[in-house]
Amino acid sequence: MLEPVNISLAELNLVTLMPMLIAIAGGLIVLTIDLIKENLHKSLYVMLTILILLIDLGATVGLQYNERGFFDVMLIDGVAILSQIIILIASMLFIPLALTSKRFHEYSYPEFFALFMFMIAGFQFMVSSDNLILIFVGLETASLSLYTLIALHNRHNSFEAAVKYFTMGALAAGFYSMGAAILYGISGSLELYQIAEAIQGRMDEAGMMILILGGAGFLLASFAFKLSLFPFHTWAPDVYEGASAPLAGYMSVVPKVAAFVVSMRIFEMFIELGIEWVQVAILVLAVVTMTIANIMALVQEDVKRMLAYSSISHAGFVMAAIALATTKANTGIFLYYGLFMFTNLGAFAMLWVSRHKHRIHHARYDHPYEKFSGMIKIMPIGAVVMALFMLSLAGVPPFSVFWGKIYLMSAAVDAGYVWLAIVMGLNSAIAAYYYLKLIVYMFLKEPTGQVNEATVYYNVSTPLMTILGFAVFVTVGSMFYVDPLLEYITEMIKISGIGFN
């Protein structure tokens, strides 16, 4: 007979659940409104979503640091708060992109917005827990919603993308549960800190290393899928291509930030325990990912696919920081994604502006390079804006991504990995070529036949312009806010106590 457990409400510390509950409630509100009155315009849902996310952000910022709650499965440390802030801001940037001048199928369903908020709740759970089950639940909630969101972009390659992503995601989920099961087998616990203790204690036992190897290996494979690291990256370009442009931009930031936070918690635990091969494996994955993805990006004919490969390469770049496992490297991860988010979303939003319902430029691609040729003559401001995003992605100073880049490279140098910093530098040089290719098309070539003002401005609207303007502002003015941002992030990372000093 089990003893009944008494837990008071205060002990549950339900306030730690507030942010996710707000997002879930928001989703339910959207569904309820739809139930009461049909055929409301999408702008209502967009604004409602923004407001709910704003409240969510407020609740997140207001959380106490280093609290546990809800049967101790929730862990609100600096990393959790930081990543939730990034997730929420990226979501708020993304959602107004639904207000295009042309009508796109998916946004007329209120379910889109409900699913979107459930997905955010899922990601929030994922980043604010160190319990392997809750991480899994969050991951799956978010992923299942995301598959549906992709498929809602009603074209046959979006279905393909959704199914592809779903199958790959299912495989990754399988790997994850195998890995988690092995760790449970070693330690009898699902809490990461208890697992760490157990591994520490049993590390010298015979045959234990093989188990740890298996557990970490499965988990690494699973997150390599989510982060689109080589050799598990093959789904990414197709999925990005099938999804609508802003959603692709969103996918290159938010799911990755969430996955990076979990990888940080899991793999840096292994590294701190002194299990070296995890570090080596991550380094190899990171270097190979950034290089292979860069080389693949060079040969793409479609800008969206190029950007997809480029964001894989950026993910590889950041993954190297996980292997370093220092406070500075972890700070670099958030600085990088905090800055990259605006630039990359901006670049994808530029594709969205020129998105046409039919493929008028190329039989196979929506956004071939030719579409942008001579853009400076047709849409000068658009061309300059896109060029700024490209230069920023290439890491040309003083644009935003440059600061993330040097901070990560500097972290590599500090940790004694000068070769890694050089590899990162050389990869940035390779990457410059394909970003430059787009600039060359926009500035140095003549417009082709079908390109004119009507086709490039096809989808533009005031909300899109506002978001783009904001993204440009953040990209160009980075020099002035990097200092306080860096200070805040460093503070938060130090509070969390993840990584070596």
Please give the residue ranges that form the binding site for other proteins (CB under 8 A): 376, 391, 396-398, 403, 406-407, 409-410, 413-414, 418, 421-422, 425-426, 428-429, 432-433, 436-437, 439-440, 443-445, 479, 482-483, 486-487, 490
**What are phi and psi for residue 286, nearest 5 degrees?**
-65, -50
CB 27, min distance to other proteins, A: 40
Closest approach, Cβ 416 to other proteins, in A, equals: 10
DSSP state of 6: P
* Both tokens assigned to 92: 């708020």
Cα separation of the two ends of the chain: 47
DSSP 8-state secondary structure symbol assigned to residue 243: S
The nearest distance, CB 388 to other proteins, in angstroms, is 10
CB 328 within 8 A of CB 414: yes
Within 10 angstroms of residue 184's Cβ, the number of other Cβ atoms is: 17
Name the residue nearer to other proteins (CB basis): 89 or 486.
486
Is 161 or 303 the residue whose CB approaches other proteins more closely? 303
**C-beta of 272 vs 414, nearer to other proteins:** 414
463 three-class SS: helix
The token pair that represents 223 in the structure block: 């997150």
The nearer residue to other proteins, 51 or 444, going by C-beta atoms, is 444
Nearer to other proteins, 116 or 369 (CB): 369
Q: Which is nearer to other proteins, 125 or 434 (CB)?
A: 434
Name residue 300's amino acid.
Q
Cβ 397 to other proteins, closest distance in Å?
4
Minimum CB distance to other proteins smaller for 220 or for 432: 432
Cβ closer to other proteins: 29 or 384? 384
- Identity of the residue, 110 or 395, whose beta carbon is nearer to other proteins in the bound complex: 395
Ranges of beta strands (E only) in 192-246 are: none
As given in the structure block, the two tokens for residue 358 are 């039919």
| 320 and 287 Cβ atoms separated by less than 8 Å | yes
Give the pairing type, strands 67-69 and 74-76.
antiparallel
DSSP character string of 247-314 = HHHHHTTHHHHHHHHHHHHHHHHHHHTT-HHHHHHHHHHHHHHHHHHHHHHHT-SBHHHHHHHHHHHH
Single out the residue of 389, 387, 367, 230 nearest to residue 305, CA to CA: 367
Shortest CB 374 distance to other proteins, Å: 11
Which are the contacts of 437, defined by CB distance < 8 A and separation ≥ 6?
Answer: 369
Q: Which is nearer to other proteins, 376 or 386 (CB)?
A: 376
Question: Phi and psi at residue 265, in whole multiples of 5°?
Answer: -65, -45
In angstroms, give the least distance from the CB of 439 to other proteins. 8
Check: CB of residue 146 under 8 Å from CB of residue 165: yes
Question: Nearest distance from residue 395's CB to other proteins, in Å?
Answer: 8
Burial class from Cβ neighbours inside 10 Å (0-12, 13-18, 19+) for residue 32 reads exposed
Closest CB to other proteins among residues 360, 426 = 426
- In the complex, least distance from residue 248 CB atom to other proteins, rounded to whole angstroms: 27
**Smallest gap, in angstroms, from Cβ of residue 85 to other proteins?**
20
Q: Cβ 483 to other proteins, closest distance in Å?
A: 5
User: Checking phi first, is residue 104 left (phi over 0); if not, alpha (psi -120 to 50) or beta?
Assistant: beta
**C-alpha of 6 from chain center:** 40
C-beta of 119: minimal distance to other proteins in Å?
34
Nearest alpha-carbon partner for 325 in 257, 274, 259: 274
Residue 175: C-alpha distances to residues 199, 228, 237 (Å) = 20, 15, 22
